[in-house]
Amino acid sequence: MIKIGFYQGCCFQGQDAHMFETMRETFKKIDVEVVLLEETTCCGGNTIDEENRKLSYAINARNIALAEAKGLDMLISCNTCYMVIAKAKRALDTNRKLKDEINELLKEEGLEYRGTSKIYHLLDFFRDVVGYERIRKAVKRPLKDWKVAAYYGCHVLYPKEIAIDNSDNPSSLQEILKALGAEVVDEFEGKDSCCGYHAFFTDKSMTLKKLERILGGVKKVGADIVATPCPLCFKSFDIYQTNMENPPGVPSTFLPELMAYAFGIDKEKAGLSHHLIKVEKD
């Protein structure tokens, strides 16, 4: 049994709590015990990172230190959370002075950032820790008739120094989808574009233009659905798509939902029945 500390951030709470339950059930099928790191906080996203980088480092040193205190590595699902936390870890691990300054702040909670815990995104966790073969063996409902477009999102591939895959030619998502039995589509217009999730709050029209390009590209190649490992990209595709003047009606899925379904969990429990753009495929 593999044991991993799960950083939920903001994505897996409140109305999206079901996504964590889907992940927990999915991981059971591949013998992974997910331990929720309950005292962690929001990573601060791009906002704090851009406005006060040292504060961002302190917040996320604390988040990692909580995993270290339990002797666990940390799994992060959200692309943005992964990018922000990975940037903090890289800075702390390469700058002793910064690390010492941050640890002075953490002393108030009796915490210390040591740099002993590894951090993983879903994709490199599945690739490097779980392995594609274990995923393949867990499949009970092969997606042999599913044509699935693979969309990474930008924050796990850039900046390159913290990327979890080859930024120019990534393959981990495709390999996972192949292990599920799907026909993978990885060439479509907009596949490398940002989904525009964060831009929606300040420039709705920009986000909708991005979605028009990406989802239009997915529809043009005849994919049944677009799969992403990022819950924010999924929300952009499923929720913001409904704000488009002429929504293309392209279904989308958060990767663990599709894995759950392939592992034999029904659509309702897998989360595929909760989408605004209905997943018609069986």
Give me 69's structure tokens: 């205190």
Contact of 132 with 176, CB cutoff 8 Å: yes
Percent of the chain residues topping a pLDDT of 90 = 91
Nearest-CA neighbor of 30 among 150, 165, 125, 147?
A: 125
pLDDT value of residue 275: 95
Q: At what angle do helices 53-69 and 79-94 cross, to 10 degrees?
A: 90
Q: What is the average per-residue pLDDT within 210-232?
A: 98
Question: 7-21, 61-75, 209-223 — which is least confidently predicted?
Answer: 7-21
**23-82 pLDDT, tens digit each:** 999 999 999 999 999 899 999 998 898 889 999 999 999 999 999 999 999 999 999 999
User: Is the preceding peptide bond at 142 cis, omega within 30 degrees of 0?
Assistant: no
pLDDT value of residue 95: 98
The SS3 call for residue 7 is: strand
> How much is the mean pLDDT over the chain?
96
pLDDT value of residue 116: 98
Percent of the chain residues topping a pLDDT of 70 = 100
d(CA 107, CA 193): 41
Q: What is the average per-residue pLDDT within 191-203?
A: 94
pLDDT value of residue 167: 96
pLDDT value of residue 249: 97
E runs forming strands in 87-137: 119-121
CA dihedral 229, 231, 234, 240 (to 10 degrees): -160
pLDDT value of residue 258: 98
pLDDT for residue 161 is more than 90: yes
The SS3 call for residue 204 is: helix
The model's confidence at residue 171, banded by pLDDT at 50, 70 and 90, is very high
pLDDT for residue 176 is more than 80: yes
* Beta pairing, strands 225-228 & 252-254: parallel
Domains (ranges, CATH) in the chain?
A: 2-122 (1.20.1050.140), 141-274 (3.40.50.11810)
**86-112 pLDDT, tens digit each:** 999 999 999 999 999 999 999 999 999
pLDDT for residue 13 is more than 80: no
